[in-house]
Structure 1
Amino acid sequence: MSGSVVLLHLAGAVALMLFATRMVKTGVERAYGDVLRLKLRGTMQNPILAVLAGTALAIALQSSTAVTLLVGSFAGAGIVSGMAGQLAVRGAEIGSALVVKLLTFDLSLIVPICLITGTVMFMATERRDWRQVGRILIGVGLLLLSLGMIGQASEPLRESQLLPVIIDYFKGDPVTAYLLAALATWLFQSSIAAVLLMTTLAGRGFIPPELGIVLVLGVNLGSSIIAPLLTRNAEPGVRVVPVGNLLMRGLGSLVMLTLFLGFKPPIAFLGSTVPDQIVNAHILFNIIILLAGLPLAGLVYRASEKIVALGAKPQPAEAFQVTELSALNEAALNVPSQALANATREVVRVCETVEIMLKRVIDLYEQADEDKIRALAALDDRVDQKHAAIKLYLAKVTKNSLTEDEALRCQELIGACVKLEQVGDIIVRNMLPLVRKKMERGLEFTPEGWRELTAFHASVLANARLAFNVLISSDAETARQIVEEKDRLRDREKETSRAHFERLRDGSPNSIETSSIHLDTIRDLKQINSLLASMTYPVLEKRGLLSDSRLKAM
C-alpha cells in the first residue's frame, strides 16, 4: 500500500474521531445542557464542589474547552466568582483526561451495541430527549470505531523507512515536538482527540515513551489556547477565566517540559505500556496543576484580570448616552403658540430617549451585563425628570387664555408625555427584571422562540417610530395605520403564544426554562404598543375617525 493511501486512511479515521467527539458533545448539550448548567452554577460557591462539578461536566460534554467557555460566561455575567471559575476549569481538565483513560480500555464489544441501540432510539421516535440519547450512543460507537480504524490505518507505517527518521528527529528536538502537538490540538479543537490519537499510535510502537510525555505536555498547551482564542472578542469579564486557564495550564506545561528535559526523571511508574504512560502522564499533569492552582487561584485570577484589562477596548463612560438639552423656555410662556412648540420639541426628545430604551432592551436579552442594565435604567430616570418638567411647563401655559386648538394640543402633549413615561416604566420595571432573570440563570431561548420575540419587537419598534411622527405631523392616515396595526399585533400575539405552547408540549427544555420570560416579554411589548397607539387617538378623534372602542369603517 502506497504512503499516500495510508495517510488518506489515517486522515479519514482521525476525521471520524473528531466528528464522533463533536456528535457526543452536541447530543449531551441538547439533551441535558440546561440541567448541567444549572447544576454547575448551583455548586460553584464551594471550592471542592466546583472542582467536582467541572470534572463531571467535562466527562459529560467530553470537552474541557466547553466547560471553560461556559464557566467564563458565568463569571462574565457575575453569576460565579472568577476564582471559583478557575477551580471548576481545573476539575474540567481532569475530567477530560479521565475520558481519555476510559476510552483506552478494550471496548470493542460496546461498538455494535451503541450503534444499534442509538440508531433505533434516533429513528424510532420523535421525542427530542430520546433522539438526543440516540445521538450520544451513536457518537460513542463511532468514536470507539474510529480508534480501531486509526490503529488499522497506521499498521502499514511499521514498514516505513521514513517514519523512524522522523521519530528520531523529534526525539532530538523535543521543543519542536512540543509545539507541533500544541498546534495539532488547536487544529483538532479537542485535547481528548489529540491524546487518543497519540495513544493509538503509541500502541503500534510509533511513539517512544519519552517523546510521548513531551507530546502530552504540548497537547495541554494547545488545549489551553483554544478558549482564549474563541473568546478574544467577548466582554472582558468573560475572558478572565480562559486567560487564567492559559496561565495555569499553558505555563504549567512549559515549566513541566523544562523540568522533564532538565532532570529526565524515570517514567516507568506511569505504567507498563507506552499508551498507559501517555494517558497517566496526562492525568498526573492536570492533577499537579489542580493542586498548584488551589493556593495560586487568587494570584492567577488577579493576573488574568490585568492581562484582560491591557487588551480591552476603551468603553464609553455611559453605554447609552443622550445629550441633555431643554427646550422649555420660560420666557415664551406668555406666547402660548411658542410655548406649545417648545413643549413639543421637549416631548420629541422624550420620544427619542424612549426609542433608544425600546431598541436596546431587546439586545440585553441576548447579551446583558450589569453596566448596560444600569445605563438603560438611568434613561428611565431621565424620562421621569423630563415628564415632570413638561407637565409643570404646560400647567404654566394653561394659565394663559388659550384657543380651543391650543387647549387640545396642550392636552395631547400631556397625554403623550404620560404614555411615554408609562412605556419607560414597563421597560425598566417589567422587562429589565426578565433580562436579569435570564442572565442570572444562564437561560437560552429556542431559535424559534427568539425569532418570534425579535420579530414582535421589530413590529412594536416600527409602530413607535410612526407614533412619534404622528405626534409632530398629526397625519390621520398614519394614525389610522398604527391603530390597524395594533389589531394585527394582537393576532400575532395569539399566534406566538400558540407556537410557544406547542414547543412546551413537545418537551423542548429551552422552552420550558424560558416560558415565563417569553410570554411576559410578549405581553409587555403588546402593552407598550397599545400605549404608543393611543398617542394617535387625539388625531383620529379630531377627524371623527375613532368610535368609542375602535376605528370607524370607511
Structure 2
Amino acid sequence: MKHLLNLLAAIALLVWGTHLVRTEILRVFGANLRNVLSHSVSNRAAAAISGLGVTALIQSSTATALIVSAFVGQGLVTLPMALAVMLGADVGTSLMAVVFSFDLSWLSPLFIFTGVVMFLSRQATTAGHIGRIFVGLGLMLLALHLISDSTRIMISSPAVKALLASVTSELMLEITVGAFISVIAYSSLATVLLIATLAASGLVSLESALGIVLGANLGSGLLAVITTARSSVEVRQVPLGNFVFKAMGVVVTAPLIGLWLKYVRPYVADAATMVVLFHLSFNLVVMATFIGLTDVVAKWVGRWLPKPEKTLASGRPHHLDPSALATPSLAISCAAREALHQADVVETMLMGMLTVIKTNDLRLAQELRKQDDIVDELYSAIKYYLTKISREALAEEEGRRWTDIISFTINMEQVGDIIERILIDVEDKKISKGRSFSDAGMAEICELHQRLVDNLRLGMSVFLNGSVRDAQKLLEEKARFRDLERAYASTHLTRLSGNTLQSVETSSLHIDLISDLKRINSHICSIAYPILDTAGALAPNRLRQASLPENQAGTLS
C-alpha cells in the first residue's frame, strides 16, 4: 500500500510540475507567444511550424488550442490556418516527450535549487516567474525518477506479477483509458511520460502502452473540446477540428501497432524510448497526412457548428471567452475587445440621440433607451470576467491594462446613463410639448454633438492603441469642449434677452442638454488619464506643459 501511495504521489507531482511550467511560461511569455502565432499564419507550413515551436515551449497543445481558438473567435486567424497550427502543436508536445524521456534526473536538484532562489529573491518580477518555471521542470524530472523507483519496487511483488500476467491486451479499452487519464491530468504530455516510465519498469506491457498513447492523443483533443464547450461557436470550432484530425489519425494508426512493434522494436531496446517515439511518429504522420485537408475539415466543422448571426444590440457578450481565463494575458485581451463592443453600443446611442432631438422620433428614443440596458449588462459581464482573472498571475503591464479596462467600462456605462437621461428629458420637455430649438440653438447642439462623436472615436483609439500623442490630443479636447459649452451658454442667454420664443420655451432643456454633453465629454476624455499617467505626462493637477509642443501647451493655459 505504501508503494502504491508513493506512485500516486509521484504521478500527482508530475502533473503539478507540468501545470506549473505551462502556467508560468504563459504568464511570462504569453503576449510574445500570441504575437508569434498571430503573425505566422501566412501559409499552412508556417502555421504548423509556429504551432510546433510555441507548444514545445509551453509543453501543452491544449493551451495552444485555447490561444488559437481565441484568435479565431476574434477574427485574427482563419479556421483552416488555426487547424494547421494545431497539427504542428501536437508535434511540438510529442517532441518534448522525447526530450523528457532521457535520464535527466541529475538536473532536478539544480533546477529546483536555482528556481527557489530566483523566486524567493525576486517574487514579483519576471525573474521570479522564470524561477517557478525551473522549479516546475525540476519537479517533473524528480517525479519521473520517483515513478521509475516506485514501479520497480512494485513490479517485484508476486501479487503484482500475477495480476499483470492475467491482463490481456484490449486496444479499445487501452485507448479509452489513455483518453481518460489525459483528460483527468489535463495534459497528454504528462500521460505519455507516465506511460513511458511504467512501460520501462515493466508495469505496463509495451503493446498496451502504445494503445494508451493513442488514447492520450485522443484525450488531449477531447480535453480542448470540453474546455471550450461554453465558449462562442468560433472558439469551439478549432478544438473540434483538431479532435477530428486526432480521431482520424487513431483510426488509421491503431491497426498498425503490430507492424510498429515488429519493425521498430529490433532497433530500439528501451521501452520508454519506444513509447515516446511512437507518440512522435503518430503526430508526424497525422500532420503530414492531413495538413492538406485543413480547408476540408474547416468546412465540415463550419457545417456542424455554424456561426450565429451577431447583432450590435445583442446583450450577450461576444468576446468574454471562459476558456481564456486559464491564460490571464489572453483573458485581458478578450476583456479589452468586449469593452470596445460596449463602446460601439454607446456610439450607436450617441448617434441616435441627435436624430431623436432633430426628428422627435419617440420609437427610436425608446429603442436607444433599451440599449442602455445592454451597456449596463456588458459592464457587469466585463467586470465579473475581470474579477475571475488572478491579479497575481498578471505581469505589471497587464495589471495596468486590467485597471484601464475597468476604468474604460465604467466611463462607458456612465455615458450610457447620461444619454438615457437626455432622451427622457427630450421626450418630456420637447417632444410631448411640441417644442423645438431655435436654428442657432440646434446648430450649437449639432456642433457639440459632432465633437462628442469625434472624441469618442479618438478615445476608443487611445484605449485600443495606448498612444500618448492621441491621449494628449484627447485631453486638449476636454478644455476646448469646456470653453465651447461656456460660450454657447452665454449666447443662449443673449437670445433669451431678445425674447426669442423658441429659446424661451426650450431654455431649461437647452442649458441642461449642453451641460450633459459636457459631462459626457468629460467621461470620454477620462480615457486619456491612465495612458498619460503611465507615460509620466501628467502633473498632479494638470497636463504637464513640458510634455507638449509649445503651441499646444498654450491651448491648455
Shorter-normalised TM range = 0.5 to 0.7
Counterpart of 1:134 in structure 2 is 131
Counterpart of 1:83 in structure 2 is 80
Residues 1:371 and 1:29: Cα distance change in structure 2 (over 3 Å): closer
1:318 equivalent to 2:311? Answer yes
Count of paired positions: 421
**1:252 partner letter:** G
Distance in 1 (alpha carbons) for counterparts of 2:85 and 2:511: 66
Counterpart of 1:182 in structure 2 is 179
Residues 1:228 and 1:386: Cα distance change in structure 2 (over 3 Å): same
1:71 equivalent to 2:64? Answer no
Distance in 2 (alpha carbons) for counterparts of 1:212 and 1:126: 40
Residues 1:297 and 1:449: Cα distance change in structure 2 (over 3 Å): closer
Distance in 1 (alpha carbons) for counterparts of 2:38 and 2:97: 26
Residues 1:260 and 1:148: Cα distance change in structure 2 (over 3 Å): closer
Counterpart of 1:343 in structure 2 is none
Among 252, 277, 284, the residue aligned to 2:274 = 277
Counterpart of 2:409 in structure 1 is 457
Indicate if the aligned counterparts of 1:270 and 1:276 stay in contact, CA closer than 8 A. no
Residues 1:521 and 1:108: Cα distance change in structure 2 (over 3 Å): farther
Q: What are structure 2's unaligned runs of at least 5 residues? A: 322-331, 376-393, 429-462, 490-506, 520-557
SS in 2 for 1:109: helix
Among 357, 366, 386, the residue aligned to 1:390 = 357
Q: How far 1:44 sits from its partner (Å)?
A: 1.4
Indicate if the aligned counterparts of 1:6 and 1:153 stay in contact, CA closer than 8 A. yes
Among 199, 213, 218, the residue aligned to 1:221 = 218
SS in 1 for 2:305: helix
Q: How far 1:138 sits from its partner (Å)?
A: 1.1
Structural mapping, 1:89-238, within 5 Å: 89-125=86-122, 128-168=125-165, 170-238=167-235
Q: How far 1:522 sits from its partner (Å)?
A: 13
Counterpart of 1:306 in structure 2 is 303
Distance in 2 (alpha carbons) for counterparts of 1:246 and 1:363: 23
Q: How far 1:119 sits from its partner (Å)?
A: 1.7
Indicate if the aligned counterparts of 2:151 and 2:203 stay in contact, CA closer than 8 A. no
Counterpart of 1:254 in structure 2 is 251
Q: How far 1:371 sits from its partner (Å)?
A: 12
Q: How far 1:466 sits from its partner (Å)?
A: 5.9
Indicate if the aligned counterparts of 1:17 and 1:146 stay in contact, CA closer than 8 A. yes
More off after superposition, 300-309 vs 140-149: 300-309
1:105-147: CA deviation from partner (whole Å, max 9, x where unpaired): 1212211221222122112235611111111111111110111
Residues 1:360 and 1:58: Cα distance change in structure 2 (over 3 Å): closer
1:33 equivalent to 2:33? Answer no
Residues 1:386 and 1:361: Cα distance change in structure 2 (over 3 Å): farther
Indicate if the aligned counterparts of 1:221 and 1:250 stay in contact, CA closer than 8 A. yes
TM-score (structure 2 length as normaliser) = 0.64
Counterpart of 2:57 in structure 1 is 60
Structural mapping, 1:341-360, within 5 Å: none
Counterpart of 2:5 in structure 1 is 8
**2:205 partner letter:** P
Distance in 2 (alpha carbons) for counterparts of 1:466 and 1:319: 20
Residues 1:380 and 1:280: Cα distance change in structure 2 (over 3 Å): same
Residues 1:36 and 1:366: Cα distance change in structure 2 (over 3 Å): closer
Q: How far 1:174 sits from its partner (Å)?
A: 2.3
Residues 1:57 and 1:6: Cα distance change in structure 2 (over 3 Å): same
Distance in 1 (alpha carbons) for counterparts of 2:293 and 2:320: 37
Indicate if the aligned counterparts of 2:94 and 2:279 stay in contact, CA closer than 8 A. yes
TM-score (structure 1 length as normaliser) = 0.65
**1:242 partner letter:** P
SS in 2 for 1:171: coil
Indicate if the aligned counterparts of 2:148 and 2:201 stay in contact, CA closer than 8 A. yes
Residues 1:241 and 1:8: Cα distance change in structure 2 (over 3 Å): same
Indicate if the aligned counterparts of 1:318 and 1:375 stay in contact, CA closer than 8 A. no
Distance in 2 (alpha carbons) for counterparts of 1:303 and 1:182: 24
Indicate if the aligned counterparts of 1:47 and 1:84 stay in contact, CA closer than 8 A. yes
**1:61 partner letter:** I
1:289-320: CA deviation from partner (whole Å, max 9, x where unpaired): 001112222211111222223xx7xx566340
Identity across matched positions, percent: 24
**1:390 partner letter:** I
Indicate if the aligned counterparts of 1:225 and 1:250 stay in contact, CA closer than 8 A. no
Distance in 1 (alpha carbons) for counterparts of 2:342 and 2:121: 51
Q: What are structure 1's unaligned runs of at least 5 residues? A: 322-355, 395-416, 428-442, 476-511
**2:252 partner letter:** V
Residues 1:388 and 1:304: Cα distance change in structure 2 (over 3 Å): closer
Indicate if the aligned counterparts of 2:339 and 2:405 stay in contact, CA closer than 8 A. no
**2:144 partner letter:** L
1:341-373: CA deviation from partner (whole Å, max 9, x where unpaired): xxxxxxxxxxxxxxx9xx989979864899998
Counterpart of 2:451 in structure 1 is none
Residues 1:539 and 1:90: Cα distance change in structure 2 (over 3 Å): same
Residues 1:140 and 1:470: Cα distance change in structure 2 (over 3 Å): same
Q: How far 1:189 sits from its partner (Å)?
A: 0.8
1:78-131: CA deviation from partner (whole Å, max 9, x where unpaired): 211211111111111111011111111121221122122212211223561111
Distance in 1 (alpha carbons) for counterparts of 2:199 and 2:241: 32
Residues 1:539 and 1:117: Cα distance change in structure 2 (over 3 Å): farther
1:294 equivalent to 2:291? Answer yes
Counterpart of 2:502 in structure 1 is none
Distance in 1 (alpha carbons) for counterparts of 2:260 and 2:111: 45
Q: How far 1:468 sits from its partner (Å)?
A: 4.3
Residues 1:471 and 1:293: Cα distance change in structure 2 (over 3 Å): closer
Q: How far 1:469 sits from its partner (Å)?
A: 4.0
1:374-423: CA deviation from partner (whole Å, max 9, x where unpaired): 998588568646624632669xxxxxxxxxxxxxxxxxxxxxx9xx9xxx
Q: How far 1:163 sits from its partner (Å)?
A: 3.2
**2:357 partner letter:** I
Indicate if the aligned counterparts of 1:227 and 1:242 stay in contact, CA closer than 8 A. yes
Give the RMSD, CA atoms, in angstroms.
4.6
